[in-house]
Amino acid sequence: MTWVWLWGAERREAALVAETASAAIAGLTATLLVWRLFQALELEAAHASAGLTATIWLLLAAVELDHWHRSTRFRHVRLGIASVFGASGAVALIAALTILNPVFNGWSETIVAGPGVLNTLLAAYLMPACMLVVGGLRLRARIPVAMGIGTGLVWFFAAIRHFWQGGEGMTLDHGISAPESLSYSLAVICVGAILFFLGVMRGVVMVRRMGTVLLGLAAGKVFLLDAASLTGLIRVAAFAGLAAALGGLAWLDRWAKAALGRRERA
């Protein structure tokens, strides 16, 4: 409550410092608690450590940038500090997405540990994804939001693969089964529809276009890949589901154009 008292005392510069420090401490505490919980449950993995490290540094960078936007003092210093913090977080996140990704590497430190959704993938990808999206929305910056959505998609598809293959069968060397492939298609359709809807509701063209691209990719995947591996009634059901999805997409497109038209007239 220190920052509330400082705002009342018209010491806004000090209030900004207190507010951003409080946000940073809260985020760091939550991240470190998750880290300790994973250690207590013996769910340690290299990708989880990298993801948690990225979350901490990205949080600190977002706090500095937020203060930089709302303050007139020490702006160059804050921007430099935010750049260092952001670069550190980006390096850790890139490592989690590439060399430490359990889908690409099967050595012991990249094996996914934990039951169901509550596993090391949560710390590796979902936490930094949420940090990027929330921070980007707070700062009104599109690039962090797009990066967060991309990282969230990595978590989503890794979680699906973990469901079908288990913690030790995450690598692509184990192949992709037909049910798993269909799960990816349904996931892309759901995520694309959600992004499309949010993009229209929030008036963010980039998010709406990302949703449209995902829906188009899902349709192409079903036609070119999934249908070839299915037979009989299952193939019929798959095409029926795709037809329903495309019909829903057409309805969403008409609804979006009508909503945008009403918004422009208002």
Task: Give me the residue label for tokens 């990302």.
Answer: 210
The whole-number pLDDT of residue 6 equals: 46
d(CA 93, CA 87): 10
Give the SS3 label for residue 44: coil
Q: Indicate the pTM of the whole model.
A: 0.74
Q: Long-range CB contacts (< 8 A, 24+ apart) of 120-123? A: 120/38, 120/43, 120/44, 120/45, 120/47, 120/48, 121/47, 121/48, 121/155, 121/158, 121/159, 121/162, 122/155, 123/34, 123/35, 123/38, 123/48, 123/51, 123/52, 123/55
User: Mean per-residue pLDDT for 78-97?
Assistant: 89
| Whether the predicted pLDDT of 133 surpasses 60 | yes
What is the reported pLDDT for 3? Answer: 44
C-alpha to C-alpha distance for 142 and 133, rounded to whole angstroms: 9
Pick the more confident residue, 215 or 72: 215
Stated as kind and residue range, the H or E segment containing 192 is helix 178-202
Average pLDDT taken over every residue of the chain: 79
